[in-house]
Chains A and B, each alone.
Chain A
Amino acid sequence: MERTIYREIKATRPVWGMAVMLGAFIAAALGSFFYVEHYGHIVTGMNNQVVWGLPHVFAIFLIVAASGALNVASIVSVFDRTDYKPLARLSALLAMALLVGGLAVLVLDLGRPDRIIVAMTTYNFKSIFAWNIFLYTGFLGVVALYLFAQMTVGIPYSRVRKAGTLAFVWRLALTTGTGSIFGWLVARPGYDAAIMAPMFIAMSFSFGLAMFILVVTTLCRLSHRPFGDLLMLRLGRLLAIFVAAVLYFTAVRHLTNLYATEHRAFEIFTLTAGGSITTLFWLGQVFIGGLAPLMVLFHPSFGKSPKAPVVASVLVVMGAFAQLYVIVIGGQAFPMPVFPGYEVSSNFFDGAVASYSPRWPELLLGLGGLAIALFVTGLGVKILRILPTNLSDANVGLNR
């Protein structure tokens, strides 16, 4: 086994092509931002009933995936699995990049984004949102420190491990905070559940690893660096565990809601009567995001191919968007039970299921956030020594 050599990737034509494409998406997102900021949110599909829409779906996906992308590095530093060590730097970089992309979308969607300085200096510490601002920016700092520790020659490994442990604990706090944004909303039956926080942790493991697999495969292919089959299969098995965990938390959440009469109406809405929400739940979240990846990864013949984890990761990411759409928009679309036992109607959509049709500005903003994350990752891999030159099995110590 050779020593791992990290080297910047070369700026070949495909790399430039990728950069230009991502840059185009970023430009589109900025254009959408100026358009919405000038004319007001009336040009988006969000309204007074569904106040958080597609941008927030993208943003929460990116933030949750960010904390999960750090997982590979945490496995090395916290759980002492040295066979993943060559991947640790990319894991840290990807975590920071995804978080930056998610935050960009969140900030650009604010009603008054010019007041970001107010948001960074005035805090109401009873709000989990305010705590999240600290958790997100602190995460960037902690992971940067961790990456610095990994990349600097002469820092003893024990120090690197300490930085990694801090990053691991921080990311658990961050994901708990993100889940609690929804879990601590007493008003809505679709939220108001303590299980949201651990469910988000499970989601972060799954989404983060899926994004990591996709990004590392793409980067290795772009830079013509080998990636070992056994290593890929290992990552795939890990992904299978995490996907199963998400399915478990989903099942527990919905079964609990079904049992309680007061929450049953919301469950009937999500599971059967919600139209597009129901389709996204069963087809998107449960099948594409849960059962299909497991079927792919455990398939008797295809499951042994190194392509299986990549296919499964694509499915997981698609399912992730469906899941977050159901959580964010489904939770708002269902009417709040202000008058139990009464049929309510008004001209402000009381008692009625709210509708939401996303428009181009929101989609472009969300995609731009994803593009920012991928662009930053690509830039980091291009100018810093993040990606190992050789991730083949023999090199990583996985011999069969």
Chain B
Amino acid sequence: MTDVNPDNSQKGADISRRDFLRSGAAVATATLAPGVTLIAFGGSPAEAKADAGKRWGLLIDANKCASDCSACVSACSTENGWKGNGNAETDVQWIRKITLNNTETGREVTMPMMCQHCEEPPCVDVCPTGASFKREDGIVLVDKHTCIGCRYCMMACPFKARSFVHEPVNNQKSHAPRGQGTVESCTLCVHRVDKGGVPACVEACEATGHGAIIFGDLKDPQSDIAKRLAEYQSVALRPDLDLNPGVRYSGL
């Protein structure tokens, strides 16, 4: 009958794996501009819980975004375990590159687009079971334990940020569970943020040298993102809807 090996030699590796993940906060250092280094983005592992005193956000500078680069998309897909299956209409997209062409002036610019983590999210309002919810620190998530897959949030999202999983999923990342029949979108890499890290797209953009995406605490006046928002012009998408998103764009 079944023959199970009681001596699991992987046990020793398991403990050190857990400790390794905990130490991820140590790699949260990032250089955002010459002379400006952020050691931690407001959370040591001990304060990993969602904190209402913080509001996480992104600032995307479209001027710095290169049209032939999609490092943010690849990084997100590797980090969270989603990938395309060759069918663009049903493939999942947590983040995508958009090309904007001003019809009057002809100026063309590219930028990444993802869930805007609104303060008044329409997707949260319409979810019948409350699976789509906003955390204390502003990150909008889908609780897939409660999601029934009705796709009403996808109808309601003004930014087409959400995707429905049309096929069975396998080999998920342990920090990003995802499965067939539920709806998902950008989580602002909440598993990294809770350990004091930055989202994968921010890290990847930094690594390419473009530095088009900045992450930080919007409520902290000393954070780099807050300082930049206070000094340079930026917009929220679809401002007429008055959603106060956590993702802002400049250079559009």
Contacts and interface: CB of A to CB of B under 8 A. Distances in A.
The SS class assigned to the B binding surface is loop
Nearest to B123: A187
Interface string B3-38: 000000000000000000000000000000000000
B75 interface: no
Contacts of B129: 118-119, 122-124, 130
A362 B157 CA distance: 24
Contact of A187 (B167, B182, B241): B241
B150 A110 contact: yes
A342 B103 contact: yes
B85 to A, nearest CB: 8
A184 B238 CA distance: 17
B247 to A, nearest CB: 12
Contact of B100 (A42, A48, A343, A355): A343
A111 B126 contact: no
A341 B101 CA distance: 9
Contacts of B102: 341-343
Contacts of B181: 40-41, 110-112
A292 interface: no
Contacts of B150: 110-111, 119, 129
A126 interface: yes
Contact of A48 (B93, B152, B156): B93
B78 interface: no
A129 B225 CA distance: 37
A153 interface: no
Nearest to B157: A187
Contacts of A130: 128-129
Contacts of B182: 111-112
B89 A349 contact: yes
B160 interface: yes
B249 to A, nearest CB: 10
Interface stretch (B43-51, B141-149, B189-197, B216-224): B141-149
Contact of A129 (B128, B180, B237): B128
B101 A342 contact: yes
A167 to B, nearest CB: 24
Interface in A190-232: none
A111 to B, nearest CB: 2
B148 A127 contact: no
Contacts of A112: 147-149, 181-182
A187 B156 CA distance: 6
Given A188-B155, A336-B158, A343-B103, A348 B93 contact: yes
B178 to A, nearest CB: 12
Interface in A334-367: 336, 338-339, 341-350, 355
Contacts of A115: 146-149
26 contacts: A48-B163, A110-B150, A111-B149, A111-B150, A111-B180, A111-B183, A115-B147, A123-B130, A124-B124, A124-B129, A127-B152, A128-B126, A129-B150, A130-B128, A187-B158, A187-B241, A336-B159, A336-B160, A338-B238, A339-B252, A342-B101, A342-B102, A343-B101, A346-B96, A348-B88, A348-B93
Interface of A: 39-42, 47-49, 51-52, 110-113, 115-116, 118-119, 122-124, 126-130, 133, 181, 184-188, 332, 336, 338-339, 341-350, 355
